Structure 1
């Protein structure tokens, strides 16, 4: 029977590398990539713990989301063994951490873990710049000390996984930028109405909670969360005289206002990007009603895209509870009564059921992102 202290054969090492690099190459989530990398390094050299550190240039820090047994850690950029290794671009093999002045004892205090022996290997990106480092801690062997062979193996793991890590980091940076742009675009319609605050942010967060409650995976719910801020993008084409009117709209004005749904769809619907296609459905259908009395198409029940049905609940809940230039915010009891009354009429019954099940979480979000009606000088 194989012991934790037995060294791996060449065949076992290749199997570990192949299994993990295949998984890493097919993964696009940074957290999961870091977990896979840490697990690969730990198995390859029989370390008790393996940590993947990433440089955060904006904050001048190193951070890890994967340090076996602990949550995220952050340290100053030049701190400890990993900071030294990244600064010099050279790997380290430390036999006795306690006797080395570069050891960052604060990490041990934070984690309650005793670091004895360490290997640190930098990751290099395609441009030759260091993006982070592997760090293995405490050898699972009779003598408890890493060998030069262990160092070479961890360097091998870094060379295999480093490029995938860079790719995923770039993917996440693009996704983060995309989220910011979508949120900013979604706020345009609200700002045109002279509304300030977090309406689109709250609708996005509500949609996420409702989606999870309906059985969406986390990635599916995140997708909806990113798309829902665009629900009122079509308002950029609606005249100020209508958007900013403090009183009730005339029939003609209301008909023009309703066109923001089709305008939004036409703006987004020709994109081949899945996210923008989803946003197009939401923009077009978030004013449709379960009983078919909504607009612009008079769709009903399952003919309304589920994204539209979810966003409709999130949007109405937030709109009723917010001050607008034409109305004051409703009391919560009045909102709850209407949401119950409109189950099966305006709203999909299954979405409303989740709404009430998740109401405490929704109210927490509402409180977290509470806003104020602009002052008269801001409206002028």
Structure 2
């Protein structure tokens, strides 16, 4: 085996120390990948195993997914496959001294990684309603006898019963967020369709905004928040009359004032939410028409008085308007777009953002091709 030196069994005091250490971190963790890592570390340490893997059931594909198995990449297997499939289907614990002596064992991963699986212990992971969430698996006992015991089953079961509640809470929150994202996207589409835009415009602006945010050094979490919130940037258009919104000719001064009001309308629709996504959407809806030089609307903010979310979506929205066909114009070519953003650097747009945009324009063009109307 490739696990290094042998270890001894835990004393009860050491076990309690492990439980308390992980418990304090698991209860406050709301990121799924980090929670799974904590659960895997806890299971491994409690059973003195070399590796621990958390398999989650994916209802959409009827597969078991190991997001962060120790020592390997993310993997998927059919929910009926191998030892893990057996445990998931039967909801029975399983302890095997040598996996290669069990015909249900699939050695494909060992062949891929050069690892040698020997002793294996798996227990079903269930919630309070006894619904199966997945499988807790530990591999290769590191003590002298190299086999898992009935006591190990008890320990891993303890870890599973404790962590399942935290896991389900995070999974439920993810499900709610996904539903929220879908609703936000659909609402964003409604706003765009009224002004003869397409759903692809909403997708592109969201992708451009995330791409630019990442290139500017924002965290992936914050960049993803901007991506999810940005489809609502023009939601205020739902309150603008069709006759004004889709007028083929030049708008009168009164009509232009009415159209500009969509920024405040969108903000007022969203501002009272406590949800981080909708709070970000409110900021974006209000500020994506502000300008670096203070000549934008609705507040005439200048410089970095405009929130970074609004500044990023402003670049993304204008790029898409220029790069695609609209009822009133044909798409501009890359050279013309480049010239426009250079001219508006420090005028309409944040100069730092434009420097990043210009250095990464190829990425914008790739996204445009990927999400053509």
Note whether the superposition's TM-score is higher than 0.5: yes
> Which residue of 1 is the match for residue 325 of structure 2?
323
SS of equivalent residue, structure 1 residue 67: coil
Unpaired runs of at least 5, structure 1:
372-380
Number of residue-to-residue matches in the alignment: 370
Match of 2:16 among 10, 14, 17: 14
Contact 1:209 1:358 in 2 (8 A): no
C-alpha separation between the residues in 2 aligned to 1:347 and 1:210?
Answer: 13
Question: SS at the partner of 2:68?
Answer: strand
Whole-angstrom distance in 1 between the partners of 2:211 and 2:84 = 38
Give yes or no for contact 2:6–2:144 (8 Å, CA) kept in 1.
no
Tell me the alpha carbon deviations over residues 42-77 of structure 1, each in whole angstroms, 9 at most, x when there is no partner. 122222211100111121111110211211111111
Counterpart of 1:260?
Answer: 262
Task: Indicate which of 217, 238, 243 corresponds to 1:236.
Answer: 238
**Do structure 1's residue 81 and structure 2's residue 83 form an aligned pair?**
yes
Q: Is the 8 A contact 2:228 2:277 kept in 1?
A: yes
In the TM superposition, what whole-angstrom CA distance separates every residue of 1:256-293 from its partner, at most 9, and x where no partner exists? 22121111112112223332222112111111111111
Kindly indicate whether the alpha-carbon contact (under 8 Å) linking 2:189 and 2:199 is maintained by their aligned counterparts in 1: no
Residue 70 (structure 1) aligned with residue 72 (structure 2): yes
1:280 aligned residue: 282
Q: Please name the residue that 2:56 is paired with.
A: 54
The separation in 2 between residues aligned to 1:215 and 1:298, in whole angstroms, is: 27
Q: Could you say which residue in structure 2 is the equivalent of 1:95?
A: 97
Q: Which residue of 2 aligns with 1:130?
A: 132
Rounded Cα–Cα distance in structure 2 between residues aligned with 1:181 and 1:223: 15
Other structure's SS at 1:66 match = coil
- Give per-residue Cα distances to partners, 1:150-195, cap 9 Å, x unaligned: 2222112111211111111111111111111111111111112232
Query: Which residue number in structure 2 is paired with residue 370 of structure 1?
Result: 372
Aligned to 2:176: 174
**Change beyond 3 A, Cα 1:248–1:131:** same
- In structure 1, what is the Cα distance between the partners aligned to 2:45 and 2:321? 53
RMSD: 1.9
Is residue 284–residue 296 contact of structure 1 (8 Å, CA) maintained in 2?
yes
TM-score scaled by structure 1? Answer: 0.92
Partner of 1:165: 167
Partner of 1:376: none
Partner of 2:362: 360
Could you say if the C-alpha distance between residues 325 and 318 of structure 1 is closer, same or farther in structure 2, counting changes exceeding 3 Å?
A: same
- TM-score norm. by structure 2 comes to 0.93
Alignment match, 2:47: 45
Shift in alpha-carbon separation, 1:70–1:301, aligned structure 2, 3 A: same
The verdict on how the C-alpha distance between 1:342 and 1:14 changes in structure 2, with shifts beyond 3 A counting, is same
Select the residue among 271, 274, 296 that pairs with 2:273: 271
In structure 2, how many angstroms separate the alpha carbons of the residues matched to 1:248 and 1:46?
74
Deviates more, 1:300-309 or 1:104-113: 104-113
Gaps of 5+ in 2: none
Query: Could you say which residue in structure 2 is the equivalent of 1:119?
Result: 121
Once the two structures are TM-superposed, the CA of residue 4 in structure 1 deviates from its matched residue by 4.3
